[in-house]
Structure 1
């Protein structure tokens, strides 16, 4: 299944149009036989075949009802296939003794009972949860046993409405993701609620869960060496397609019914897109990265615009951001007899995904030689408020770099785009260029000078699987690492600014000062595998470094094995070595953007 998630959110292209609608509903391969495909015939279930999309294929409650009907028929006919039997233990009840109802889900209000969709073989969860309200705390779990004498038993758990059935394999993948993979991918993210927000969304949201399972299964298969790289990659492609299929279904519902009706669902989709975007940037080709980032940016803008309909929404982006957060609450305030304030899972997800969107948008602008798409929102979202409540988005809690650096990189990218436009039009004012660049340079220099050595925080040690850390130990990066990371980004930004203003002059003492300082900082990272989070500073320094330090840069990357885990860093080194190989071939138009574009695979790296 080939999926194209474009800037026009929710538009999906399915290349396999011969599938029957039953197989599409169950997310199974279909041989296209007429009038009944072999898959449906083997299960003794109806095979729905028509050119027009059935009315029940709506991505909502009717689709869930049909999924439940198909599921029941599969179970009913189990004895006709291999003698399977099922036992339902502890039927779901509310405190009054009545069957619990899915009254919390606005999409399911027409249904009198909770519906549960079975997982597909590769973990896909067909139903899309775009609800705006958390599930009822009074719902009681049920346990279902499905098995046969010759195949043993398979255990799954039906939990509160909005939570879909998943099996033991999914439990393993979710545990691996929360305990190992997420801390590896986002080592700087440590919210007050810990991993609770991730676990809550994984259990309740098929959108988040499917985006997570395809990542977890890939890394886990590599860790266990359960499959060759080829077979693992094939499974990865299938599961990533499934993940984007679920995202596309959710986006279509959001568009058709309005983002204000599904605010929490939109946040979950945004979080999933950004997770998959970073995943494919590390492991897969970058062919679709920009399209997926464009979709995320558009969805983020729609979320802000849902809180403000007038022309001042950009100036009031902070108010709109806070408005979205408020509507995603309220926070949980009571745990048994203990009262405590905990930010809701959707609120934390919105802050997390918003930081990733802004960050990735800034980095993409340096590759595309265009202003960041969210540039007009930066001052409102990234600058501290006058009432000292802090910025709406705090990048250092997600990427380890303080906001002011990304603000200036965005300004430099916008300056570069302005310069290129003026050159094409023959209207470049060099004095104005230097004046604007000097303002950025002065502020950057003052900020760099103010970075003090910070004491390391005593973060809890995490014992990851060996594959996820080249040095077998990984502690939460402390404040000293945040200072180092921030300065590395700032020094690379200074080198970037000099190239924008002066052109390709890698031997310039000013440029080399900032390049050498960037490399020195990257060499001090602890653990060294944190380099995987700093591909852009590494790439800027690598493109401009003098030949005598080439071996040193190679040495930073060499220990980060295997490349299937540290893919972005290895791809960046390939791009950098291409720049080194072209030394002596002077090109007056060369700049960092042309270097970044020299390899298609680097276009999505950050």
Structure 2
């Protein structure tokens, strides 16, 4: 009598163990991380170069599906998508000015959907934040609210993600408003979005240490460069100075502070208010990746 067949299943299909699958998952994760990093740096760099994102269309596709930027920056993806489109809009405006073909009606038409997406996104995010506060029995993120968040790791992680998203969203509004209305901090749209960014940063300070703020050089520089009055400028200057010597030695924080100060000083000594971070970089002879 023959012994039972203990060989491989028909067709030589050997079952795959979880250990054999793991390297493929690691490779996929690594690939997604690298692609995400390239897309993120491409988007961030446009504020410094005034160029369109090289991967504009690819970013719009990948960031809505395969690539999650959460491993690079804990920020909801709709903000990075808006920043991607704002950068493309800024490059379009620069080209139109160079060709003497700028139509402000066309500019407003292109900008309006982005403005609406940002506004809707911020309103939705604010609603999420309010609901999370209500669940904790608080109405705002003060000292008591911060204690309740910080003593609950699950709540803290989501609270930080929402707070960082809000900072980038308001700074993206600064970015968009300077393209639409001009780089003048006296304009209501620009001034209000700068103040909103500052308020969001202050809320974030309740639940984050200085280490987390090293990932916020882009919003700090964009909003801080457009700060109009001395108290607001002092706040953004203190944010950079409080990051510590390690950040100054290995990052772009010192240069970021120089960029903001160049904007403030140049506007003060000029009749024209049209000084933004990109103009300051050009004047300083530097193109800085704001990371």
Give the TM-score range, shorter chain. Answer: 0.7 to 0.9
Secondary structure in 2 matching 1:364 = helix
Unpaired segments ≥5 residues, structure 1:
1-330, 384-390, 457-474
Q: After superposition, what is the alpha-carbon deviation per residue over 1:102-132, rounded to whole angstroms, capped at 9, x for unaligned?
A: xxxxxxxxxxxxxxxxxxxxxxxxxxxxxxx
**Superposition deviation, residue 431 in structure 1:** 0.6
Match of 1:540 among 222, 227, 240: 222
Q: Secondary structure at the match of 2:185?
A: coil
**SS at structure 1 position matched to 2:243:** coil
Q: Which residue of 1 aligns with 2:210?
A: 528
Select 2:38's aligned residue among 346, 353, 357: 357
Partners of 2:250 and 2:164 lie apart in 1 by: 18
Q: Which has the higher strand share?
A: 1
Alignment of 1:129-144 (within 5 A): none
Contact 2:184 2:274 in 1 (8 A): no
Does the CA-based 8 Å contact 2:222-2:277 persist in structure 1?
yes
Moved more, 583-592 or 437-446: 583-592
Q: Distance in 2 between the 1:521 and 1:556 partners?
A: 13
Q: Classify 1:349/1:600 alpha carbon distance in 2 versus 1 (closer, same or farther; 3 Å).
A: farther
Distance 2:210 2:159 in 1: 14
Check if 1:441 corresponds to 2:122: no
- SS across alignment from 2:75: coil
Which of 380, 397, 404 aligns to 2:71? It is 397
Residue aligning to 2:257: 573
* TM-score, scaled relative to structure 2: 0.77
CA distance in 2: counterparts of 1:576 and 1:407, whole angstroms:
25
Counterpart of 1:417 in structure 2 is 91
User: 1:50-70 CA distances to partner (integer Å, 9 max, x unpaired)?
Assistant: xxxxxxxxxxxxxxxxxxxxx
User: Which structure: greater helix fraction?
Assistant: 2
* Matched ranges for 1:170-189 at <5 A: none
1:557 to 240, 249, 254: 240
**Secondary structure of 1:582's partner?**
helix
Deviation digits for residues 437-456 of structure 1 (CA, Å, limit 9, x no counterpart)? 11110111001100112759
Partner residue of 1:428 out of 63, 82, 102 = 102
- Contact 1:416–1:500 under 8 Å retained in 2: yes
State the partner residue of 1:380. 61
Aligned residues: 247
Deviation, structure 1 residue 601: 5.0
Q: Secondary structure at the match of 1:534?
A: helix
**Match of residue 450, structure 1, among 117, 124, 129:** 124
Report the CA distance shift for 1:535/1:602 in structure 2 as closer, same or farther (over 3 A): farther
CA distance in structure 1 between the aligned counterparts of 2:59 and 2:251, rounded to whole angstroms: 30
How big is the shift at 1:564? 4.4
Name the residue aligned to 1:264.
none
Q: 1:516 to 1:497 in 2, by over 3 A?
A: same
CA contact (8 A) 1:408 1:440 kept: yes
C-alpha separation between the residues in 1 aligned to 2:283 and 2:34? 29
In the superposition, relative to structure 1, how do residues 517 and 528 fare at CA in structure 2: closer, same or farther (>3 Å)? farther
Relative to the length of structure 1, the TM-score reads 0.38
Compute the displacement of 1:352 (Å): 1.0
**Cα deviation per residue 1:67-110 (whole Å; 9 max; x = unaligned)?**
xxxxxxxxxxxxxxxxxxxxxxxxxxxxxxxxxxxxxxxxxxxx
Q: CA 1:519 to 1:566, structure 2 compared with 1: closer, same or farther past 3 Å?
A: farther
Answer yes or no: is the 8 Å Cα contact 2:184–2:273 preserved in 1.
no
* Alpha-carbon contact 1:523-1:556 (below 8 Å) kept: no
The Cα shift of 1:343 comes to 5.6
1:494 to 142, 152, 173: 173
Listed as ranges, the gaps of 5+ residues in structure 2 are 1-15, 134-152
Q: Give the alignment partner of residue 586 of structure 1, picking from 257, 271, 277.
A: 271
1:529, distance to aligned residue in structure 2 (A):
2.4
- CA RMSD, aligned part only? 2.6
List per-residue Cα deviations over 1:394-448 (Å, max 9, x = no partner): 1123211222111111111111111111112121111111111111101110011
Q: Are the equivalent residues in 2 in contact too, given 1:455–1:478 (CA < 8 A)?
A: no
Q: Distance in 1 between matches of 2:182 and 2:104?
A: 12
Instruction: Say which one has the larger Rg.
Output: 1
Higher relative contact order (CA 8 A, sep 6+): 2
Q: Secondary structure at the match of 1:513?
A: helix
> How far did residue 600 of structure 1 move?
4.5
